[in-house]
Amino acid sequence: MSAESTEHALSDEVIDDQDEASTDADASPKGSAASRLEEEGDVAADYLEELLDIADIDGDIDIEVRNGRTYISIVAEDETDGLDSLVGEDGEVLEALQELTRLSVLSATENRSRLVLDINGYRQQRAGHLQKIAEDAAASVKESGKAVALEPMSAYERKIVHDAVADLGLVSESEGEGAGRHIVVSAD
């Protein structure tokens, strides 16, 4: 093969590679993100199922992808103390288990995960409680005109409170660091 024909063959390969790359780039990022989230959910479910087996705790695992995030729920038909022990006091065990599950996903996929883990509806119940905290803080700010500092909470819980405070027409800001990070609600 002459140098000219080798060069021509190589340029054809480069063009083919570029065409494949542009086809991949033209593919809907939403589709690839959705498949990545589904994979994340499958890895997380496998990890949690193994954990439940080791702990000899009964529970069904539900996976849902919404708003660009994977939500994993572990529920039981019967009230079982085993699942409650996975929530812990004030959801501390649940938060730790969520972080371990995220690490499992990171290890398997090399992608950081923002998955949310819920056990026996704890997060939904907590969201209602957080809504009430936001409403009480807003009422206090409106009445006194003074800013109100709330108890420290996780980033996920702070997001719920920030949204609730904004819906009530007030301003909220996270302050502090680490486990002491909390929200301050004010009128301006």
| Confidence check: pLDDT of 13 > 70 | no
Name the residue with higher pLDDT: 85 or 104.
104
Percentage of the chain with pLDDT > 70? 82
Domain 29-120: which topology? Answer: GMP Synthetase; Chain A, domain 3 (3.30.300)
pTM of the model: 0.71
Residue 139, pLDDT above cutoff 60: yes
**Per-residue pLDDT tens over the stretch 149-178:** 999 998 889 999 999 999 999 999 999 999
Give 6 or 87, the one with higher predicted confidence: 87
| pLDDT confidence of residue 79 | 67
| pLDDT score of 23 more than 60 | no
**pLDDT above 50 for 80:** yes
Q: Is the pLDDT of residue 53 over 50?
A: yes
Q: What are the residue boundaries of the structural domains of the chain, listed by start? A: 29-120, 125-186
pLDDT of residue 16: 38
pLDDT at 7: 41
Q: Which fold has domain 125-186?
A: Ribosomal Protein S8; Chain: A, domain 1 (3.30.1370)
| Per-residue pLDDT band at 81 (split at 50, 70, 90) | low
The three-state (H, E, C) secondary structure of the chain, written as one string: CCHHHHHHHHHHHHHHHHHHHHHHHHCCHHHHHHHHHHHHHHHHHHHHHHHHHHHCCCCEEEEEEECCEEEEEEECCCCCHHHHHCCCHHHHHHHHHHHHHHHHHHHHHCCCCCCEEEECCHHHHHHHHHHHHHHHHHHHHHHHCCCEECCCCCHHHHHHHHHHHHHCCCEEEEECCHHHCEEEEECC
Predicted confidence at residue 129, as pLDDT, reads 96
